[in-house]
Amino acid sequence: MNTDSFHFKVGMFECIAVSDGTLTYSDPVRTLFANAPKEQLAQVLPAYSIQLEQWSEWVSPFICLVIRTAEHCVLLDTGVGTIDFAPKAGKLVQNLQAVGIQPADIDTVILTHGHPDHIGGITDVAGKVVFANARHVMWQAEWEFWSSEAGLAFDEFDAKHARRKLSPLAGRLDLINREIEIVPGIHAVLAAGHTPGHMALAVVSASEELLYVGDAFGHPIHLEHPDWNILYDYQPELAVQSRRQLCNRAVAGQARVLAFHFDFPGLGYIRQQQSEWKWQPM
């Protein structure tokens, strides 16, 4: 499979999952399952061809999404951009161009949250806004958090990075504080917990729905065990609640799901099996 882009449709919308590349994490157990009981995790991992004691690295994809509607060309998240700690990432623009999309073609950029791998591509190495013709959209509580002393205290690097990336958007950043339809067919869904203003997006066209869930889930095991938190979940209990709500919504609406960190192209379904949810990749 081409791991740079993947074309699919949601109703009448043309969609493209676009890779920004990958990043290797050296402590996957702590990163993905910070509070998971080791014995229980050791029993779950073999179903994913992983042995706990041998699991020393996790190669995480970064998967952004382009949606072409009748009126708009929308980008969900911007990847990590060019940064020293991610030499195999920062490929979003070249992968967009490979499918015939120039940065100037994007008229709306929706940011699920303020972590570096989602907002790093807002500006280039010179500090210029990459998607210069686009209205950018973020949840208001997210912007306020990374602009606050609380955000700085929680993660100084991420807060300073967010301030540096978001400040050039003055005059072109719309902050929302309720679950509105951002453009026709693309709806904001609050999924707070990973960060205070983390949001998912519901893409709806011709009775079909796709949920773009950002970082609500880091691994398919989070469907089976939504109470196992990601290390970077700022509000762990709220993150668990959001995971459960998104699972229920996806199952009830038979929606496809795209998860930013799942194996490329990150697309699949959440299935209910007795008291558990399971990931069914496409």
Tens digit of each residue's pLDDT (9 = 90 or more) over 153-185: 999 999 999 999 999 999 999 999 999 999 999
Model confidence pLDDT, tens digit, residues 180-200:
999 999 999 999 999 999 999
| Tokens representing residue 65 in the block | 């999404």
Query: Residue 191 maps to which CATH number?
Result: 3.60.15.10
* pLDDT value at residue 219: 98
- Contact between 63 and 264 (Cβ < 8 Å): yes
Q: Which amino acid appears at position 134 of this protein? A: A
Instruction: Report the sign of the C-alpha dihedral through residues 241, 23, 122, 68, in that order.
Output: negative
Q: How many domains does the chain have?
A: 1
Tell me phi and psi for residue 268, to 5 degrees: 180, -165
- Tell me which residue range forms the domain holding 62: 5-281
Residue 113, pLDDT > 80, answer yes
Model confidence pLDDT, tens digit, residues 37-59:
999 999 999 999 999 999 999 99
